[in-house]
Homo-oligomer: A and B are copies of this chain.
Amino acid sequence: MNTQTNLPEVFGALADPTRFAIVERLLKEGDLPVGQLAEPFKMSAPAISRHIKLLENAGLIERRIEKQWRVCALKKDRFADLHQWIERYRTFWNTSFDRLEALLDKQQGEDDDSSR
């Protein structure tokens, strides 16, 4: 993971429902201009503009200029960082799962014993 990546900042960017919805929409529909991203919300344009800027500062999206529009696109690096982070926790929950499996196996073994 990029050492500059400030995970709490990235989580903060995703903590707002409006910003989360914007990110989800970019995943589902691909790159979109600011105006189109703003449409589903009754919020003012400046409010949306700030949300998008915050997402950009967190490294989750980037903006490019195309004719008179600013087109937003997801940036893969931060998502890869998030993935790498959560993968570390997988060990933790897989262990729990393995323990459950072991327990079930053990019970199965005991059931077999009792049927002899």
Q: Which of A68-88 contact B (CB under 8 A)?
A: 74, 76, 79-80, 82-83, 86-88
Q: How many residues of A contact B (CB 8 A)?
A: 25
Number of copies: 2
A4 to B: closest C-beta gap in Å:
15
Over the window 4-19 of chain A, the binary record of Cβ atoms lying under 8 Å from chain B Cβ atoms (1 yes, 0 no) is: 0001110110111100
Given A89-B79, A92-B74, A8-B27 contact (CB < 8 Å): no
Q: Report the Cα distance A82→B88, complex, angstroms.
A: 12
Q: Is the CB of B92 within 8 A of A83?
A: no
* CB neighbours of A80 from chain B (8 A): 93
A69 to B: closest C-beta gap in Å:
21
